[in-house]
C-alpha cells in the first residue's frame, strides 16, 4: 500500500458514506481495504483528534470530534495519574465517542459516523475528506532552540535520596520518580507530524495521540499495557527494569544479560509482579502468570516483562479493572497507600496525563495503556515526561541516565531531517 493509494481509498469511502447518509439515516459506516489513520486525522477538520494503535496486530482507532459516550457502548478513555490539582497538561477523567472514526487494521477498515453526531457537521467533514488534495511535501521540522530539565540533575539527586531514605526506613519498598524535559522549538510544530516521527522512532510501542485543539496534543509511545480484554479474558503485564540498547551486537547482548541477572532490576520488577498478582487474581476465576520475566527488546532499550492472563469472574467489568490496576508500582509506589502523596511532594509538580491511562473500551473488547513515554505539545513548546523506579540499591546518577534513555524516543523524533 502506498500513501497515495490509501488517500484515494479514503476519499472514495468518504464520498460513499456521505451518499449513504443522504439516502438512508440508518447507514452509518462503510468498509475500505486500505487506510492511513494519521492521514485521516491530518485531512480532517480542526476538531478534537484521537488515535490509539495496538502494535500486536496493528489495530488502530482514529477519531474526529466527540459526542457523549452512551452507556454500554464503545468509548475512548483518558485518565490522569491522580485526582489532585491538574496542570494545563492534565484534567479530569474523560470518556467520549468520536463523531467520525476510522477503525480497523491493515486490510480491513471501517469509516464510521456516530448516529448521535450532528448530521450536517458529519456531511461537511466527509466532503472535506472526499475533496482533500494530495498531501504536500512536508516543510522542515522546527529546530530545537533550547531545553530545560525539571528538576535539574542536582534536584533529581535530592529527590532520589529522599525516596531512598523512605526505603531504608522501611516505609516503602519502591517509589517511581519522574521528571520533565521542556524542548523549546523555533516555531510551532504540527502534532500529527511529530506523532509520525515518534512512531518511526519507537515502532514496537503502543502509539497514542489526543489533540483537543489545533497545535496542542498529548502524544506518546508506551511499551506498557494496563490491560487488554477480549470478551471475558484479560491480560496485563509488569514492565520494570531497564537497560539501553547498543549498536555493537556483543555489547548489546551483554547489556541484555546484565539486566536479566542484576539484583536491583530484578527486585524492582518483582515488586510490580507481586502487586499486579495481588490485585488482579481476585478478579479472575482462572489466573496465571509467567514463571519468570522475559526480555522485552525495543528499538532503544531492553526491559524485563512478566505477563498475566485470566478469565474474569461474573460481574467484573472494566471499571473494576481500572480501579484495581491503576496505579501499579511501575508508575507509582509500593505499598500503594500514601505513594501518590509522596510522589507529589518529591516531584513538586502534578503529573497530569503522564502515567495515567489512555485507550478505548467496547462491550466485547478493551485496550488500555499506561500513558508513559509521552509529551505535551503546545505550539512551540514540548514537555516530555519519563520516570524511573527507585528501590534499595538505586543510584541517582544511574536513574538520571535511565530517564534520559527513555526520553530518547522524543529526542530522535525531534532530530533534524
The grid coordinates of residue 267 equal: 527486585
Strand blocks (E) in 5-91: 29-32, 49-53, 60-64, 67-68, 75-79
Q: Is 8 helix (H, G, I), strand (E, B) or coil?
A: helix
412 is catalytic: no
* CA atoms of 328 and 344, how far apart (whole Å): 16
Residue 347 annotated in active site: no
Instruction: Kindly state the DSSP code that residue 415 receives in the 8-state scheme.
Output: S
Q: In whole angstroms, give the CA distance from residue 304 to residue 327.
A: 18
Contact 199, 207 (CB under 8 A): yes
Question: What are the C-alpha distances in Å from 103 to residues 109, 214, 360, 367?
Answer: 6, 22, 12, 13
Residue linked to cell 531497564: 242
Catalytic site residue from 34, 101, 174, 270: 174
* Separation between Cα atoms, residue 112 and residue 399, nearest integer Å: 45
Spot the catalytic one: 196, 224, 270, 399.
224
3-state SS of 253-309? Answer: HHHHHHHHHCHHHHHHHHHHHHHHHHHHHHHEEEEEECCCCEEEECCCEEEEEEEEE
CA–CA dist 373, 201 (Å, integer): 12
How is 312-366 classified by DSSP, letter by letter? Answer: EPTT--HHHHHHHHSSPTTTSEESSTTHHHHHHHHH-S--TTTTSEEEEE-SSEE
DSSP code at position 70: P
CB-based contact 30:57 (threshold 8 Å): no
All cell numbers assigned to 216: 496542542
**Mapping DSSP to helix (H, G, I), strand (E, B) and coil, where does residue 385 land?**
strand
Look up residue 183 and give its three cell numbers.
524542548
φ/ψ (deg, to 5) at 31: -100, 155
Distance, CA of 309 to CA of 95 (rounded, Å): 26
Instruction: List, by residue number, the catalytic residues.
Output: 174, 224
Amino acid at each position: 500500500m502506498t500513501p497515495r493509494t490509501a488517500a484515494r481509498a479514503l476519499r472514495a469511502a468518504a464520498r460513499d458514506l456521505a451518499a449513504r447518509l443522504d439516502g438512508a439515516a440508518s447507514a452509518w459506516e462503510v468498509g475500505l481495504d486500505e487506510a492511513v489513520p494519521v492521514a485521516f486525522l491530518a485531512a480532517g477538520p480542526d476538531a478534537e483528534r484521537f488515535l490509539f494503535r495496538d502494535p500486536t496486530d496493528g489495530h488502530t482507532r482514529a477519531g474526529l470530534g466527540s459526542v457523549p459516550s452512551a452507556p454500554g457502548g464503545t468509548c475512548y478513555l483518558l485518565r490522569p495519574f491522580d485526582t489532585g490539582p491538574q496542570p494545563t497538561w492534565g484534567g479530569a477523567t474523560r470518556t467520549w465517542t468520536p463523531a467520525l472514526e476510522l477503525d480497523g487494521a491493515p486490510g480491513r477498515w471501517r469509516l464510521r459516523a456516530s448516529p448521535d453526531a450532528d448530521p450536517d457537521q458529519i456531511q461537511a467533514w466527509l466532503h472535506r475528506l472526499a475533496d482533500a488534495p494530495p498531501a504536500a511535501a512536508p516543510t522542515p521540522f522546527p529546530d530545537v532552540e533550547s531545553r530545560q530539565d525539571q528538576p535539574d540533575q542536582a534536584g533529581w539527586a535530592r529527590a532520589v535520596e529522599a525516596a531512598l531514605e523512605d526505603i531504608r526506613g522501611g516505609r516503602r519498598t519502591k517509589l517511581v520518580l519522574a521528571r520533565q524535559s521542556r524542548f523549546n522549538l523555533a516555531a510551532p510544530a504540527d502534532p500529527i507530524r511529530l506523532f509520525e516521527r515518534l512512531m518511526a522512532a519507537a515502532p514496537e510501542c503502543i502509539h497514542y495521540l489526543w489533540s483537543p485543539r489545533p497545535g496542542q496534543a498529548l502524544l506518546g509511545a508506551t511499551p506498557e499495557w494496563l490491560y487488554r480484554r477480549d470478551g471475558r479474558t484479560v491480560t496485563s503485564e509488569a514492565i520494570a527494569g531497564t537497560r539501553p540498547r547498543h549498536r555493537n551486537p556483543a555489547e548489546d547482548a551483554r547489556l541484555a544479560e546484565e539486566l536479566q541477572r542484576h539484583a536491583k532490576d530484578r527486585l524492582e520488577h518483582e515488586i510490580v509482579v507481586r502487586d499486579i498478582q495481588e490485585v488482579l487474581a481476585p478478579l479472575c476465576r482462572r489466573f496465571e502468570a509467567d514463571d519468570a520475566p522475559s526480555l522485552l527488546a525495543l528499538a532503544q532499550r531492553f526491559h524485563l516483562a512478566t505477563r498475566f492472563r485470566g478469565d474474569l469472574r461474573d460481574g467484573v467489568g472494566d471499571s473494576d479493572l481500572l480501579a484495581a490496576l491503576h496505579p501499579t508500582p511501575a508508575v507509582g509506589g509500593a505499598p500503594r497507600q500514601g505513594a501518590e502523596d509522596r510522589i507529589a511532594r518529591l516531584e513538586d509538580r502534578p503529573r497530569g496525563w503522564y502515567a495515567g491511562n489512555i485507550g478505548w473500551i467496547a462491550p466485547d473488547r478493551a485496550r488500555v495503556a499506561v500513558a508513559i513515554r509521552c509529551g505535551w505539545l503546545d505550539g512551540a513548546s514540548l514537555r516530555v515526561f519519563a520516570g524511573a523506579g527507585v528501590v534499595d540499591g538505586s543510584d541517582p546518577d544511574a536513574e538520571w541516565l535511565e530517564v534520559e534513555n527513555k526520553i530518547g524516543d522524543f529526542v530522535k523524533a525531534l532530530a533534524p531531517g
